[in-house]
Amino acid sequence: MYRQKFFEVLDLAVTCVERRFDQPGYKTFSNVEQLIFNACRREPVAENLESVVKFFKDDFGKDDLESELRVLRQLYAQSDASSQTPTIRNVRDVLCSLSGGQAGLITDVWRLFQLLLVLPATNATSERSFSALRSIKSYLRSTMSQPGETEPFDGPPLPPGPNGCAENEGHCQRIHSTE
């Protein structure tokens, strides 16, 4: 009986996690992020570039964005952050440190970075499913007991100590001394 409930909850948890990370919005967010980070790491950008241009259709030209990502690659390599793994903060710092002329060279990358900052990584549906999962987990914890167990605790309750604690004296003194 407990095994069946365990596997039902486990199956529900796996399904919720898969559903959360299989959302189109999350895939778009991930593609935009990887496109910018791969350009900074000097890794191939073709696959992510294709999916980003396909998603944003008329907003970005493939050739223009590709050439601007090459400029970003050079600017990132010349920056102080080049020795670190690219993060959103590092890329932001590099972009903010550019002069007006340099920033004018990568206007599409700027727009793409701004989109990255405002794209939602999840949606309300996935958050509700995790909330429901938490409720189910709480319910199962409160209703399940070990086989042969009649009470939630073994043995009779301990009488309260002089400080109102039902624990041993040393433990109560440590708790009250830290207050």
Amino acid in the structure at residue 12: L
Least confident range from 30-44, 98-112, 124-138: namely: 124-138
Rounded Cα distance, 176 and 98, in Å: 57
Rounded to 5 degrees, φ, ψ at 153 are -120, 150
- pLDDT above 60 for 171: no
**How many of the other CB atoms lie within 10 Å of CB of 95?**
20
Contact indicator for 169, 161 with CB cutoff of 8 Å: yes
Please state, in angstroms and rounded to a whole number, the distance separating the CA atoms of residues 129 and 16. Answer: 6
Residue 77 CB contacts under 8 Å (≥ 6 apart), including other chains: 42
Tokens of 147: 């086989």
pLDDT grade, residue 66 (50/70/90)?
very high
Banded model confidence at residue 85, pLDDT cuts 50, 70, 90: confident
- Per-residue confidence (pLDDT) for residue 160, from 0 to 100: 45
Answer yes or no: pTM beyond 0.85: no
CA 159 – CA 83 distance, rounded (Å): 62
CB-CB contact of 116 with 36 (8 Å): yes
Mean pLDDT of the 158-171 span: 44
In the chain, count of helices (H) and strands (E)?
Answer: 9, 0
> Which pLDDT score, from 0 to 100, does residue 145 have?
63
Closest CA to 133 of 20, 25, 23: 20
DSSP assignment of 79-135 equals SGGGGSPP-HHHHHHHHHTS-HHHHHHTHHHHHHHHHHHHS-SS-HHHHHHHHHHHH
CA 21 vs CA 62, 107, 114: distances in Å: 27, 30, 22
